[in-house]
Structure 1
Amino acid sequence: MGFAGFDTEKIGTLAGGLEKASQGAGPLHRQVAMVLTRANGLLNGSKPVTTSALLQPLVGDLMGGLFFGGYRCMPGTLTGELDDTQASMKRRCAQLGGVQKLVDDGYDVDPSLYFDDEKPPDQKKINTALTDLAELNGKNAGDTDGRSDLERIKGDLDGLTPTELDAFLDKVPAGDLAHFNDVATHTGNSGIWPFQHSNGLPSGEYRDFTSSLLKKAGPTHWPKIEAAFPVQPGFDTTDAWLEGQNSQQEQGVHGMHYGTPQDPLFKTPGTVDASQVSQGRFGDCWYIASLSATAQRDPKFIAEGIKQNANGTVNVRIWDKNGKVHWVTVTPDLPMDKDGNLVSARSTGETWPAYYEKAFALMYAGDTGGAPDDHQGDPLYDRAEQGDYGATEWDFNQKAPPYVTGNDSKKIDSDVPSIRKSFQSGHPVIVSTGSSADQETKGQQIWGDTFSTRHVYYVKGFTKSGDIVLGNPWGPDWPEITATPEQYKEFFGDPEALSMPS
């Protein structure tokens, strides 16, 4: 009986029983409270009327706390709890019946969405979205009525429930989705007249839209979204892919592919430890240093900026180049090597830095070209990129902070007392090294391989003697650097103070 293992008749009977029980919880509460209150009066304080922690709050609670927003304890609290539960069960049964009709009519819906607590799917909404998108397919970017066609289709899709979106994705031709992406990303004026509307959708608005699709869709239809829209950053433009190794640490990277990690988002939910963050094999120390510096200063801020959705995707809070905040949705798979080890950023036993990095790769729009040593001018390396991991490599340390905190960083005087003053006033601080080969040789004689040129570090603190302590974003396997003020002046510079949101 039922559909997909759910017997809606039995579930409905149970819901009816819970509804009846919820209606009796209030009277039962008052009766128990009356008995305990009378008994307490008869005992006149000679002994407790009850030793039960659950029943003690009922002594004298003849009104059930109704003047204070409802029942505050058992059994009165069951009135709302049971009522909410039975109402949810009935909604889910109605949703399940609607899904069954979709399946019977030939739609493929991801099983994870069958018993969702939402309105039953409406095939009319699904068909409207399919029709509107099909009509767009006959128009070129310059032929659309400004953004109105795009906005109408975007509204269609935004208004779909997860189940309806999944059914839409099952039926929509891949070419229609790809054409929508072409038109939406073709921005600019629609003609020579100054009052004509612009084409396409603003990049931030479009990123929010594609995130909403991923957040709702069932896993079986993620590949269709990934094929049509820019939601999965590529890695074939990174140094690790092109050279087969990380260009600074010279760690081999072979068989790079997307895979789903086994480690959780957080080992302890809501808790991050900056000292355990590792950069991975991509050349984005300037970003990971900013992320680590911020996590050290305000771990709660970073932990609250990442959430796992019901369908397994991950939401990451990130600001765009214009300072507007977005919650970027990414799929849970991450770049791995041939042995299944993460190539991207990570923390010890957890993956939250990898998703920050993945969202940053999608959002970063400041890359104007950059290359490791000996590759300047090589078009494979030294080129402007956007929307992939390659765009996050080899850029300047002041460009990353706005994406992490929403605020521009501030240059401070490049001496240890100035950095300490800024650090102690609450600012995360990052510093960088130059590109001299002689400096690298000399620095490694002092600190070993944890010193590198063309690298960004974050300030961890200061010693009692006044030395500066720097963390290496490569991770906990690389020792921190303790430098005297004189050593700092010789080997480091360009300090940036990050500004946390107020």
Structure 2
Amino acid sequence: MGYHRNNWRQVAGKAAPFIPGGRELMAAVDVVQGISDTVGRSQLQYVRGGHPLVELPWQPPGPPPNPQRAEAVGRQAWDILFASEQQYSARSLLDQVGNLLMPLPPTELDLVIRRFGTQGLERWDQLTHVEDEHGEPAYDWPRQQALFNWLLRTVSPYGAMLIGAGMTCSQPNDDPGCDCGDHGWVLPEGPFAKVDGAYVTENWQWVSGATEALSWQDMDQGIYGTCWLLTSMQAVLQANPQHAPRHFRQEANGTVTITLYDEGRPDPITMVPDLPYGHGRLWGATGHTEDARYAETWPGYFEKAAAQGAGNYVDVVHGGPPAEALAMITGRTTQKLDLNSPWLIQEIADRKSRGQALVATTAGTSDRQKLAGGRLAQSHAYFLKDVDPAGGRMCLGNPWGDGATRKMWECWLTLQEVGSYLVQIDAVDTW
């Protein structure tokens, strides 16, 4: 089983002491790599304690704007937004604003959003939180998310970032649990070009990347405890590489739309393309690196979409069992395998051959504790990476990615070891 791509550093590090001049060579490589990783970081669009607002190129669809009409509609919508919700009800005001804005072409809608500015968008956001006579918000979640999806897909990149900064419920809340004061949101740098299977930035700096735009190998869990979610996506993408292109989409204005499922129903979520950042690194899931300039940022957007569906990152971190994640990703009911079956290995091989995704959960209470001689973390989720029916064993893949040691990156278990270390294996159809 190959460690995939970046394992050269682990292998070279082990071999360096036994090669004449090996230590000196690795030290030189680390210096060069350090320079490469830090070049351009000062130019990242990072806002400590807030969201970035940056003008970016945009080619709007539809006719050119009519400034007079946009000004008239914007003024009327502004007056409605700041009308008394006690007199007219927040739901009525929100519906009126939506009815005014929906007919506008993208360029004019963008002018209105810019006219609103942070003050108008914060008022709009405030109305979505006003409670009705039953103590419920004026907008329910599906209606509210559909509104955000439409706005974020339609306006300019700057307008989308303005919405993300001014309408707090259009973005998941993030509490990193750190009082250092160095946390905020960053726009990952781009664009990227693919050259011979690798990515390069606009400054022609090399970037490690999969040959596929969205690949199951592109996973490094990051700081959040979202193994139950991320490794479920790994399992799905390994079983069905076509799942990602049908559920991940970058819109023309740079926003990102990811489709999850709620009780089997598709639930598209459009997001501003900024990601949590702190301590000089992306705080959430990445693809093999902590550097925000790198191309493999899709795991972070998937994690952000799940956080938006839950309302905040904290609820995703506390999360649930992999069975819930598999259902949220595929929209299908999961099946629980019998760990005591003498034919478990053969059943896993059969399910994988039929394109099913399988995720295993280890015993224990904290992933800081180890199992199987340090090869497994307790209370951790793994995807079923491979199976060897003839040898009677299976391989677990770790969503910690290259952040894990070679010892913990993958773990082969015999049938006898399964009952000692695993508490559950869930499977789901992906095709």
TM-score normalised by L of structure 2: 0.71
Q: In 1, distance between residues paired with 2:332 and 2:218?
A: 25
* Alignment match, 1:159: 103
Q: In 2, distance between residues paired with 1:207 and 1:174?
A: 19
* Alignment match, 2:113: 169
Q: Is the 8 A contact 1:263 1:351 kept in 2?
A: no
Q: In 2, distance between residues paired with 1:136 and 1:404?
A: 36
Q: Is the 8 A contact 2:337 2:426 kept in 1?
A: yes
User: How do residues 185-196 of structure 1 correspond to structure 2 at under 5 angstroms?
Assistant: 185-186=129-130, 188=132
Q: For the aligned residues, what is the CA RMSD?
A: 3.2
Residues 143 and 423 from structure 1, CA distance in 2 versus in 1: closer, same or farther, beyond 3 angstroms? Answer: farther
- Residue type at the aligned position of 1:325: P
Residues 346 and 263 from structure 1, CA distance in 2 versus in 1: closer, same or farther, beyond 3 angstroms? Answer: farther
1:437 Cα offset (Å): 7.4
TM-superposition CA deviations, 1:317-340 (whole Å, max 9, x none): 222x3433233222222223333x
User: How do residues 128-207 of structure 1 correspond to structure 2 at under 5 angstroms?
Assistant: 128-140=73-85, 143-144=87-88, 147-172=91-116, 174-186=118-130, 188=132, 200-207=138-145
1:269 Cα offset (Å): 8.1
* Alignment match, 2:305: 359
User: How do residues 272-283 of structure 1 correspond to structure 2 at under 5 angstroms?
Assistant: 272-283=214-225
Residues 420 and 399 from structure 1, CA distance in 2 versus in 1: closer, same or farther, beyond 3 angstroms? Answer: same
Q: In 1, distance between residues paired with 2:297 and 2:130?
A: 35
Q: In 1, distance between residues paired with 2:57 and 2:76?
A: 26
For 1:422, which of 343, 347, 351 is the aligned residue? 351
Q: In 2, distance between residues paired with 1:134 and 1:258?
A: 32
1:201 Cα offset (Å): 2.4
Q: Is the 8 A contact 1:276 1:476 kept in 2?
A: no
Residues 394 and 435 from structure 1, CA distance in 2 versus in 1: closer, same or farther, beyond 3 angstroms? Answer: farther
Residues 410 and 225 from structure 1, CA distance in 2 versus in 1: closer, same or farther, beyond 3 angstroms? Answer: same
Question: Is 1:455 equivalent to 2:384 in the alignment?
Answer: no
Residues 162 and 410 from structure 1, CA distance in 2 versus in 1: closer, same or farther, beyond 3 angstroms? Answer: same
1:436 Cα offset (Å): 5.2
* Alignment match, 2:333: 408
Residues 199 and 439 from structure 1, CA distance in 2 versus in 1: closer, same or farther, beyond 3 angstroms? Answer: closer
Question: Is 1:484 equivalent to 2:414 in the alignment?
Answer: yes
Bigger shift: 326-335 or 260-269? 260-269
Q: Is the 8 A contact 1:189 1:199 kept in 2?
A: no
TM-superposition CA deviations, 1:369-422 (whole Å, max 9, x none): xxxxxxxxxxxxxxxxxx222221133222212221122323232243444443
Q: Please, which runs of 5 or more residues in structure 1 have no aligned partner?
A: 1-108, 192-197, 245-253, 365-386
1:434 Cα offset (Å): 2.1
Q: Is the 8 A contact 1:460 1:470 kept in 2?
A: yes
How many residues align structurally?
A: 345
1:291 Cα offset (Å): 0.7
- Residue type at the aligned position of 2:186: G
* Alignment match, 2:259: 317
Q: Please, which runs of 5 or more residues in structure 2 have no aligned partner?
A: 1-53, 193-198, 200-208, 289-294
User: How do residues 300-315 of structure 1 correspond to structure 2 at under 5 angstroms?
Assistant: 300-315=242-257
Q: Is the 8 A contact 1:257 1:338 kept in 2?
A: no
Q: Is the 8 A contact 1:271 1:299 kept in 2?
A: no
For 2:268, which of 295, 318, 327 is the aligned residue? 327
- Residue type at the aligned position of 1:490: S
Q: In 1, distance between residues paired with 2:94 and 2:105?
A: 19
1:211 Cα offset (Å): 2.1
* Alignment match, 2:364: 435
1:344 Cα offset (Å): 1.4
Q: Is the 8 A contact 2:222 2:285 kept in 1?
A: yes
Higher relative contact order (CA 8 A, sep 6+): 2
TM-score normalised by L of structure 1: 0.61
* Alignment match, 1:211: 149
Structure with greater strand percent: 2
Q: Is the 8 A contact 1:211 1:330 kept in 2?
A: yes
Q: In 2, distance between residues paired with 1:424 and 1:243?
A: 48
User: How do residues 380-399 of structure 1 correspond to structure 2 at under 5 angstroms?
Assistant: 387-397=311-321, 398-399=323-324
- Residue type at the aligned position of 1:425: R
For 1:472, which of 386, 394, 398 is the aligned residue? 398
- Residue type at the aligned position of 1:290: S
Residues 127 and 410 from structure 1, CA distance in 2 versus in 1: closer, same or farther, beyond 3 angstroms? Answer: farther
For 2:230, which of 282, 288, 297 is the aligned residue? 288
For 2:240, which of 298, 320, 337 is the aligned residue? 298
Q: Is the 8 A contact 2:174 2:314 kept in 1?
A: yes
Q: In 2, distance between residues paired with 1:408 and 1:134?
A: 47
Larger Rg: 1
SS of residue in 1 equivalent to 2:169: coil
Q: Is the 8 A contact 1:185 1:203 kept in 2?
A: no
* Alignment match, 2:426: 496
User: How do residues 2-17 of structure 1 correspond to structure 2 at under 5 angstroms?
Assistant: none
Identity %: 24
SS of residue in 2 equivalent to 1:347: coil
Question: Is 1:259 equivalent to 2:200 in the alignment?
Answer: no
